Amino acid sequence: MSNFFILFISYFLILFSILGYGSFLSRLHQSSISINIGFKGIYGIFFLIIYSYLSHYFISHNLKHNVVILLIGILIFILNFNKEFDKKNFFILTISFIILFIALLIFKTHDDFPYYHFGYSYYLTQEPMIIGVGQYNHGFRTPSSILYLNSLFYLPFIKYFSFEIPALLILGFSNLILFFNIKEYFERKKFNYIFYLNLLFLAFLNIFFYRIQEHGTDRSAQILISILFIQILTLINFDKSYKTQISNILVLLGIIVSLKAFYILYLVVLLPLIWIFYKEKKLNTSIWYLLKNKYFYLFLLLVLLTLLVYFFNTGCLIYPLSVSCFNNFEWSLGAEVALKMNNHYNLWSKGGHTPNFKVSDPETYLQNFNWVSNWINIYFFNKVSDFLIGLLALVIITFVIFNYKKNKKLNLNYSKKNIILIYSIVLILFFEWFVNHPALRYGGYILVSLLLFIPFSIFLEKNQISIDKLKLKLKILISITIIVFISRNAVRINNEIEQYNYKPISNSFYRMHEGHFRIASNFEGLIKNYKDCKDKLKTCDLKRSKYVREVYPGRYIFITDFYLTKDD
């Protein structure tokens, strides 16, 4: 069988399995049938991330384990299909994921993929938790839940060539959330700014994030942040059941924080929500609902598990935040190392360190915005400027399509001040981003988009368009989005065919080489050396392990209930 069909079949089996788990978890709602089918997928991802964190303390996510997990999800999906899934909506889901499949035809992966994305995902499939793995690779110090999700889809036939699928599924489920939001607002004839905001992000995500191999661990979080703010704005408008919106927000926040721990900053969005509910005299009922809400406790569990993974990998709760580090554990990297790496990341994001350049005095460079001029020269031009041009082009095209001469009076009901409050939170997060880590991959894409899209959506709400004309305009913009997504991926695939002799049909899997397995080989050596020891109760001499002896002398590497260390 051509591995094209292996990839295609595995892709849909994983999709259906996730929907099965999402169907199961969404039953915590009083009416799970009414939940957006895209959210059922997100709920399934939420469930599997929690499971993957918990299970890896005890077992590896090997082939046998993952087949069982996959089949259970598919079985739940089949048993609940007639009760939980509207056939028309499921048809739309199937077509949308068929269109997205073109993005999985990849030869060249993200630069960080062989460095640590693959290595960490593969390690999860081979061994149960190893305490202290942050010593082996800088990337292992900042693990992401998407790598844990990858490990659950290490399956027969496709094996580790499934490791790009979760990123595409997050994009796909987010698309469905946005699409069915648009559809619902259209059917209700409620063409407010949230309606247009959903439409803008549907176009944005697929036009700008079309290259799945570039998603890494960052863009998936930013995709979900766009959904998060739409849910928040929907909540403060009180357009729908606020109980469902609160549950959705908790699930989204949990996944976002687990994807990248520094996104724990986004918990700040809960503060204006508390104030708004207090002002609307719904705080007491909402707090009582929150305490009864099972998703609230699952959210807390996922945040706790995320912090524990960081802790067991590095000795820090949020690496490289030095104040969160503990120095007194055997495996701890220490606050000093964390501070050094934080400065390195800071320097890198501000243009002071590139693959070909490093400033001579990093400390002075980072002080008092000394970095801004150089950052503008080497990063703003042309990385940020190109992004802004593309973003403005999308806004102009949308304006041309949807602008109409007859303007109606803007009606934001009682939510006007609420919108300003949420917009202020976006501004605060944008300022924090610019001051501390001004690289688009660290949240910049979505924050800049929100700052532009929210006021533009409010402007579009003023347009008075007939239902028939609006329907036509919707079809035009969505069609343009699909065409651009397919075309850009087709051009990318053609370039990979010409440059790398890629064969997308006969050999669809991405390129692999020995470097992908270098960390796995080191782990195998450590474990073999341990098992060769005569007395497991005493320290194990690892002098035969060149990697440990030369790079990390005297460090402890815990493996489940025992540890390895160089004999002092």
Shared-domain flag, residues 426 and 538: no
Contact by Cβ (8 Å): 152, 49:
no
Which tokens go with 449? 């988009």
Residue ending a domain, choose from 461, 496, 531: 496
> Is there a single domain that holds both residue 559 and residue 428?
no
**Tokens linked to 39:** 């959210």
In a domain, 509, yes or no: no
Residues 282 and 398 in one domain: no
Claim to verify: residue 149 and residue 283 sit in the same structural domain: yes
Which residues constitute the domain of residue 452? 347-473
Residue 412 is assigned to a structural domain of this protein: yes
Q: 308 and 398, same structural domain?
A: no
Assigned domain for 60 exists: yes
pTM reported for the whole predicted model: 0.92
In a domain? residue 424:
yes
Distances (CA, A) of 563 to 334, 341, 521, 525, 537: 19, 26, 18, 14, 10
The torsion angles phi and psi of 278, rounded to 5 degrees, stand at -65, -45
In a domain? residue 247: yes
Residue 324 lies in a domain: no
- Same domain? For 268 and 353 the reply is no
Q: Report the number of distinct structural domains present in the chain.
A: 3
> What is the torsion angle, in degrees rounded to the nearest 10, for the CA atoms of residue 309, residue 315, residue 321 and residue 323?
130
Q: Could you tell me which of 229, 293, 248 has the C-alpha nearest to residue 46?
A: 248
The CA distance from 233 to 272, in Å, is 11
The 3 state secondary structure assigned to 77-126 is: HHHHHHHHCCHHHHHHHHHHHHHHHHHHCCCCCCCHHHHHHHHHHHHHHH
Looking at the fold, whether 283 and 402 belong to one and the same domain comes out as no
In a domain, 293, yes or no: yes
* Sheet of strand 130-131: strand arrangement: 130-131, 556-559, 562-565
User: Residue for token digits 């503990």?
Assistant: 326
* CA–CA dist 58, 127 (Å, integer): 9
Cα 527–chain centre separation: 32
In the block, residue with structure tokens 């815990």: 558
Classify residue 281: in a domain, yes or no: yes
Same-domain status, 286 and 143: yes
Residues 538, 480 within the same domain:
no
Cis (ω within 30 of 0) for the bond into 455?
no
479 and 468 share a domain? no
Amino acid (1-letter code) at residue 441: R
Contact 224, 272 (CB under 8 A): no
> SS3 breakdown of the chain: % helix, strand, coil, rounded to 5?
70, 5, 25
Domain identity same for 354 and 289: no
Longest dimension (CA), the chain: 85
Q: Using an 8 Å Cβ cutoff, are 549 and 566 in contact? A: yes
How far is Cα of residue 535 from the mean position of the Cα atoms in its chain?
A: 44
Structure tokens at 65: 């384990």
Say if residue 459 is in the same domain as residue 553: no
Whether the CB-CB separation of 562 and 536 falls below 8 Å is answered with: yes
Per-residue pLDDT of the chain (568 residues; tens, 9 = 90+): 589 999 999 999 999 999 999 999 988 765 555 688 999 999 999 999 999 999 999 999 999 999 999 999 999 999 999 888 888 999 999 999 999 999 999 999 988 898 889 999 999 999 888 888 888 778 899 999 999 999 999 999 999 999 999 999 999 999 999 999 999 999 999 899 999 999 999 999 999 999 999 998 899 999 999 999 999 999 988 766 777 888 999 999 999 999 988 899 999 999 888 888 887 777 777 777 788 889 999 999 999 999 999 999 999 999 999 999 999 887 888 999 999 999 988 999 999 988 788 898 999 999 989 999 999 999 999 899 999 999 999 999 999 999 876 666 666 554 778 899 999 999 999 999 999 999 999 999 999 999 999 999 999 988 878 899 999 999 999 999 999 999 999 999 999 999 999 999 999 999 998 888 887 777 776 666 655 553 444 455 443 333 333 333 333 444 433 334 433 2
